[in-house]
Every structure is written in structure tokens, then in C-alpha cells.
Amino acid sequence: MPADYFPVAVLQNSIKMTTEPPRGIRANLRRTYAEFSDNKLDDCRKPEAFRRLLFGLSFFHAVSQERRKFGPLGFNNVYEFNDSDLETSIQMLKMFLDDQEEIPWDSLNYMTGEINYGGRVTDDWDRRCLLESLKKYYCAENLDDGYIYDEEGVYFCPPTGSLQSYKDYIESLPLVDAPSVFGLHQNANISY
């Protein structure tokens, strides 16, 4: 915003810095998990379910952000999903797990998919794609060991453990993401 009291010469001679969003599933998950602590992960009545569903939600967030790199193959329109979508969804996840005896899957999927993330989505086909993608990570199967997120079995929810165990798993992920993790065919890399 222009300001008469700030000299233009100072701006012209300054170093300008911007923060770029992370590129890739691994970098995105690394940034998300850098903000957590063991205390935050245990601050729930159902800590094991919270940790596993939190990882699934974080993975969904990373996939949603990275899917846009495929242009019209990823989503029909470009959407700017940001950290506030993830933070709000994490708070709602914790609230639902603390307040309900059984995990309310339909409510979690609706609030996260239709409201938090879906509120930004203007195309009906994109919303449908986003909701189906979310169902892969917000489901009862995600609470079981061995549940995989892609066809090759590279991406999965790690066993419940400490924060460091999640960070170690994230560091073991590949640097280059295969299109299958986004639900796309291998040919999507050609057009990308």
C-alpha cells in the first residue's frame, strides 16, 4: 500500500523477500509437522485416532495443494488452499474426537470437504473430486496399520508413534511425487 511518509529510495535499494509455498508432498508434510509438538498430538481424548487422522488430513492438504500443478488435469479451476484451511480442519477434528464417543465420519467429511476446503471450490466436478479424495484419508481404514494411499504402496499412514517417528517417515518419502498419489494416470506427467 502506498505511504507518503516512507521514502521510495529505501524500497528501491532494499532486499525483497517472499515466502514460497513448499513444492511436493514431502516438503508440504515437513512444513506442516514442523509446527507440531508431542504435547499438541496428545491433547485429545483419542490420541491414537487423532494422530492417524491428523496425518491423513495433512496428507490430503498436501495432495490438494500439489494437484494444481497438473493444471486442468488436476482441477478445472485454480484454487488457493492455504494453511488456514488445514488449521481449521485440525481444530474441528480435535473437537469431534473429544466430544463424540464414536468417530463421526460423515460430519468430519462434510465439514472438512464441503465447508473448509469446498468453500473455495466453484466447479461442481472439482468439488466432487475433492470430496472423493478426502474420503480416502478420512475413513475408518486409515486407523488400521497397512492402509496405503496410492497404488504403488509408497505413501501410507505410518504406525502411531512419537512426533519424531512421523518426521522420520516424512523424510523417507520420495522427492518427486508419482501422479498416482494424486489419483491421476502416469501420462499426467507428460502433460505436466
Q: How many Å is the maximal CA-CA distance in the chain?
A: 62
In a domain? residue 58: yes
Domains identified in the chain, total number = 1
| pLDDT average, residue stretch 142-146 | 89
Look up the domain containing 87 and give its range.
Answer: 20-191
Q: Which residues lie closer than 8 Å to 146 by C-beta, 6 or more apart?
A: 156
For 84, counting Cβ atoms within 10 Å of its Cβ (0-12 exposed, 13-18 middle, 19+ buried), the class is exposed
Banded model confidence at residue 70, pLDDT cuts 50, 70, 90: confident
Label residues 111-146 b or e (16+ Cβ within 10 Å = b): bbbeebbbebbeeeebbebbbebbebbbbeebbeee
Residue 17: pLDDT band (50, 70, 90) is: confident
Residue type at 57 in one-letter notation: L
Assess if residue 94 is contained within a domain. yes
Backbone conformation region of residue 160, classed left if phi is above 0, alpha if psi is from -120 to 50, else beta: beta
The per-residue pLDDT for 95 is 94
Any domain includes 76? yes
75's CB contacts (< 8 A; 6+ apart) are 67, 68, 121, 123, 126, 129
In a domain, residue 98? The reply is: yes
- Residue 90 maps to which CATH number? 1.10.8.720
pTM of the model: 0.84
